[in-house]
A and B are shown apart, each in its own frame.
Chain A
C-alpha cells in the first residue's frame, strides 16, 4: 500500500500537510472575522492587513528589538490588537449605524493604507524571517518539518481556546448574550460598548497571531494578507457568518479539500473553494453552519 487511487502515498501526505497548514490559517482568520461579525455586525475588511501587520510585527521585533520568535508570538498580537482597539474607538464606532457600504469602504480603505505604507517602507519583494524550528521528523511515509507541525498545533490550540472561552465561560456567556440583545445586557450593569471594543481587539489579535505564525513560512510581504483574505472570505461565506465551530471546521476542511484537488485534478485547485462557495450560496445562502438571522 504505497499509493492511493494512483497517487504515491508520500506525495499525497505531503499535499495533505500543506492543506492542513492552509486550513490552519483559514480557520484562524475566519474565526476572527466571525467573532468580530457576531458582536459588531461589521465585516472587517482590514483583517488581511492585520494578518500582514502580525507578520511584519514579528520581523520588526526581530530586526529592531532582537525579540525572538517566541517573544513575538505573544507580544505582536497584543500590539496589533491595541492598534485595532484604537481603530475601533476612533473610527469604526462611527459607522455602526450607517449602511454596510460605509463599513466596507472604511475597513477596506484602512487595509489599503496599511498595505501601502508597508510597501513604501519595505518594498514589495519580501523580507526573510528565519525558521525558529528547523529540522523535522521522518514518519516513515513522509518527512514532517517541525515548524509545519507547530503551525497546525498552534492553530488548533487558538481555535479551541476561543471556542472554549466563548461557549463555556462566564465571559463567553456575556458575549453570546450581548450578541443577541445588547441593550438588555447593558441593563444588567454590563458595559457592552467596552465588550465590543475588546472583542474587536481579540479578533484582530487572532489575525496578528496567524501573521506571526506565517512569517517563517515564506517571505514577509505587504501583499501576503490581501492574497489570503480573499479565500478566507469565501471560507466564511461557506461556513456561515457567526458560527464559531462552523468557521473552524470549514477552514480546515476546505484547506484539505484544496490540497486533494491539487493532487487529483491540479487545474481546479485554485477555483475549488470558490466553486463550493457558489454552490452553497445557491442552495444554502446562510452557509453550512449559519443560522437564519
Chain B
C-alpha cells in the first residue's frame, strides 16, 4: 500500500497546473482544493481559464503539466477514459447532447462505473420531463431540457464528483431554480461538485466555497459565508 500523501478527504487537489492550447499558454499555475462533499465554484471573467481547468481535470486538455490528484490519485498523465473510472463525471458547457441518439439513448450512454449512482428511476424523478421525451432525438429538446439531460446522464454512472461547466447559462429562471434544487439535493447525498458559473446569485445558493480565476491562476478564494456578508471585493474581480 503506497503512502497516502494527501488528506483523504480531498476529492480534488490541483497544484502548479499549467495548460496549453498549441503554442498559447492558458493556465499559469492553478492551485486549489475541492474537499469531499463540498460544492466549489470557479468564478471569473470570460477567457480566464475556467473551462480549460475543467478540461484539464477530466483529461481533455492534452497539454497540461503540474499535479491533479483525484481522490489522492495523480491523473496528470492519464487519458480521459482512465480518469472517469476514478469517480468523476463531466458536463460540458455546450451540454454535449448527441443528435444521432434518442433522449433515452443519451441518458443510458455513459456506462455505470460504480454501483452507488442514482438509479434510473431516481434520475427520472428529478427530471420527469426526460421520461416524456424518451424517444425524441436528443437535440430536439429545448435548451433547458438538454441541460437536464446532460446532468441526468452523469448521475447514473456512480461518479460522486461532478464537474459542471455553466449549467445555468441561457436558461429560464424557473429551470435555473430547478437545477439549483437538484444540486442541493445531490450535496445532501454527499456528492462533491466543482461548478463553473457566471451567475453569482445562483452560485451563492448552492456553493460552500468560491475560487476566483484570472489569467489562468487562482487570485482569491472566499467561503460562501464571507460572500453572503460582503460581495464588494468579488464584484471588483468580476468587473461588474
Contacts and interface: CB of A to CB of B under 8 A. Distances in A.
A177 B98 contact: yes
Nearest to A191: B81
Contacts of B84: 186-189
Contacts of A184: 90, 92, 96
Q: Which 7 A-B pairs have the closest CB atoms?
A: A189-B84, A188-B110, A186-B80, A184-B96, A176-B100, A191-B81, A187-B90
A187 B89 contact: yes
Contacts of A162: none
Contacts of B59: 186-187
B157 A188 contact: yes
Interface of A: 170, 173-174, 176-177, 179-181, 183-192
Interface string B44-85: 000000000000001110000000000000000001110111
Interface in B74-119: 79-81, 83-85, 89-90, 92, 96, 98-101, 105, 108-111, 113
A291 to B, nearest CB: 9
A189 B60 contact: no
A170 B58 contact: no
Contacts of A173: 101, 105, 108-109
B98 A181 contact: yes
B92 A189 contact: no
A169 B113 CA distance: 19
Contacts of A180: 98-100
A117 to B, nearest CB: 36
A186 B81 contact: yes
Interface of B: 58-60, 79-81, 83-85, 89-90, 92, 96, 98-101, 105, 108-111, 113, 157
Nearest to A172: B105
Main SS of chain A's interface residues? Answer: helix
Contacts of B113: 189
B98 A188 contact: no
Nearest to B110: A188
Contacts of A174: 109
5 contacts: A173-B108, A176-B98, A177-B109, A186-B59, A187-B80
Nearest to B153: A188
Contacts of A185: 109
A215 to B, nearest CB: 36
B160 to A, nearest CB: 14
Contacts of B98: 176-177, 180-181
A170 B102 CA distance: 12
Given A170-B108, A177-B109, A181-B96, A186 B79 contact: yes
Given A176-B98, A181-B96, A181-B98, A188 B60 contact: no
A190 B111 contact: yes
Contacts of A176: 98, 100-101
Contact of B110 (A179, A189, A191, A192): A189
A176 B97 CA distance: 12
Most buried by B among A173, A183, A187, A188: A187
A188 B79 CA distance: 11
A189 B85 contact: yes
Nearest to B95: A184
Contacts of A179: 100
Given A173-B105, A177-B98, A192-B81, A187 B111 contact: no
Most buried by A among B58, B60, B98, B157: B98
Given A180-B99, A181-B96, A189 B108 contact: no
